[in-house]
Amino acid sequence: MAAKPPATPGHGDGNIHVRLQPTRVVDGMIEDGYTGNYEVICPACGDSDRLDYLTAPPEVQAIRSLYGSPRRVQAAAEHHAGYRTQLTRLYGLG
Ligand SMILES: [Zn+2]
């Protein structure tokens, strides 16, 4: 059975998460602290905590995006996972 596409219920099998964006990731390790932005990590879309933003494929960068607030990134993650919540509605994501 094909994986469910982004923004449909069940996408990501509960593995989508958010994090503070590391300044750099070298050999899977965070270096030089954090940028202050937040990003969405979706393993079902080919992403990994071990990937550096700048070396991630463009389609992965597009999903991560860069958000300036924890509420905004949480809304994006919920939307990507196919949820419709107060936060997704607050940010116009359905
Ligand atoms: Zn995804």
Could you tell me the distance, in angstroms and rounded to a whole number, from the CA of residue 54 to the centre of ligand 1?
A: 18
Could you tell me the distance, in angstroms and rounded to a whole number, from the CA of residue 24 to the centre of ligand 1?
A: 22
Q: Give this prediction's pTM.
A: 0.92
- Residue tagged 């809304």 (tokens): 75
* Rounded distance between C-alpha atoms, residue 91 and residue 73, angstroms: 10
Could you tell me the distance, in angstroms and rounded to a whole number, from the CA of residue 47 to the centre of ligand 1?
A: 8
Could you tell me the distance, in angstroms and rounded to a whole number, from the CA of residue 6 to the centre of ligand 1?
A: 5
Series of mean pLDDT values for 10-residue runs along the chain (94 residues): 87 96 94 96 96 94 96 98 97 93
Please state the separation of Cα 5 from the chain's center in Å.
Answer: 15
* Rounded distance between C-alpha atoms, residue 83 and residue 8, angstroms: 8
**Partners of residue 61 on adjacent β-strands:** none
Residue 1, pLDDT score: 56
Residue 75, pLDDT score: 98
